[in-house]
Amino acid sequence: MPKESSIKIFHKLCWFLVVYTVLVIIWGAWVRISHSGDGCGNHWPLCEGAYIPDATDKKTWIEYFHRLSSGLYGLLVIAMTMISFRIFPRSSAARQVAVVTFFLMIIEALLGAALVLKGLVGENATFFRLSVMTLHQMNSLLLTGSTVILSLVTAPVNNPTHLQISWNQIFKSGWNWIVFMIIPATGAWAALANTLFPSASLQEGFEKDFSPETPWILRLRVVHPFIAVALSSYLIIKFYKKSEFTKGELSKASFFVVLTLSVALIFGILTLLFLSPVWMKLVHLTIAQLVWISLVHYVMISLLSTKR
């Protein structure tokens, strides 16, 4: 197959990987919300020590399906990394980002294994679990971001066989990512607290948040709404100004950031008011991933547009 055709197919596969990444992350959240993290016992990567578990417990199958989808995801990333070495030169951005994606996938798998093997699932309410969950949240964002970058640097319009990028430039241009990542980091705290200690009413929730008698992890969840409102508002104003003073593709990318952030902020407030029902938690996480994708997209478009 001609290299041009191979690159086009690879580019489409990259966008499939972006979607698949988000779906695996959302199902992982469902594992936590449904208290199914211990559905396969303390075995990993096997489930109950078997390739196919012999069980009728619902949470076993929830965890088992997550492991299957994650395993297939890992094989897909490995295959795409190997293919990138075949069709892109050594110094190309595409090959470099594929390698980064591979290592982030390995870290994600190790963090998931740590949650299971160390018993950081179910009703576990330790600081260790909170720390690993926060790292898991941060790495999942980086993994999603790397797949988006891979999709963009392999686009035919960017001449992927010769495209080179400066990681230093990416980090300098992506300081907005750091600002945003504080929101999902504190979101992991709130998510764990809500899972372990659900409230029957909004008033009860507020009373628990500020009561010295409640568990420390429950009092910690109040940080997230304040951080989310403050930083989201800051980023919305910032990118709204960018959308006004830029043109073309960059202006559209700025507007998409504003749109996704606004939706996330409004939906987050509604989720809080309705006491975080399961479907709203999952949709909220999906929107947060879309915000992150829009931020990564903006930064990369601003860098790649100067190289065309």
Coil, helix or strand for 47? strand
Q: How far is the C-alpha of 31 from the C-alpha of 100, rounded, in Å?
A: 26
CA nearest to 134, candidates 206, 61, 220 = 220
Question: Which structural domain range is residue 3 located in?
Answer: 1-162
If asked whether residues 217 and 103 sit together in one domain, one would say no
- Please give the average per-residue pLDDT across 255-276, as a whole number: 94
Q: How far is the C-alpha of 197 from the C-alpha of 302, rounded, in Å?
A: 43
pLDDT value at 93 more than 50:
yes
If asked whether residues 193 and 273 sit together in one domain, one would say yes
pLDDT value at 171 more than 80:
no
Helix ranges restricted to H, 197-222: 202-209, 216-220
pLDDT band, residue 185 (cuts 50/70/90): very high
Number of domains in the chain: 2
pLDDT value at 1 more than 60:
no
Of the residues 138, 162, 186, which one is the last residue of a structural domain? Answer: 162
CA 307 to each of CA 150, 151, 153, 171, 301: distance values in angstroms, whole numbers, following the listed order: 16, 16, 11, 17, 10
Q: Cβ contacts of residue 208 below 8 Å, gap of 6+?
A: 197, 199, 214, 218, 219
Tens-digit pLDDT profile for residues 131-152: 999 999 999 999 999 999 999 9
CB 29 within 8 A of CB 36: no
**Assigned token pair, 170:** 């990416």
If asked whether residues 93 and 138 sit together in one domain, one would say yes
Q: How far is the C-alpha of 191 from the C-alpha of 93, rounded, in Å?
A: 36
Q: How far is the C-alpha of 266 from the C-alpha of 88, rounded, in Å?
A: 43
If asked whether residues 10 and 113 sit together in one domain, one would say yes
Pairwise pLDDT comparison (239 vs 41), residue with the higher score? 239
Of the residues 129, 162, 195, which one is the last residue of a structural domain? Answer: 162
If asked whether residues 69 and 143 sit together in one domain, one would say yes
Q: What is the pLDDT of residue 170?
A: 74
Q: What is the pLDDT of residue 308?
A: 56
- Please give the average per-residue pLDDT across 167-188, as a whole number: 82
CB 18 within 8 A of CB 151: yes
If asked whether residues 257 and 219 sit together in one domain, one would say yes
Of the residues 162, 180, 201, which one is the last residue of a structural domain? Answer: 162
Pairwise pLDDT comparison (142 vs 43), residue with the higher score? 142
Residue 211's identity, in one-letter code, is S
If asked whether residues 64 and 176 sit together in one domain, one would say no
If asked whether residues 264 and 116 sit together in one domain, one would say no
Ranges 10-24, 26-40, 183-197, 208-222, most confident: 10-24
Question: What count of residues does the chain have?
Answer: 308
If asked whether residues 214 and 293 sit together in one domain, one would say yes
If asked whether residues 142 and 257 sit together in one domain, one would say no
If asked whether residues 110 and 140 sit together in one domain, one would say yes
Pairwise pLDDT comparison (273 vs 167), residue with the higher score? 273
If asked whether residues 134 and 197 sit together in one domain, one would say no
pLDDT band, residue 204 (cuts 50/70/90): confident
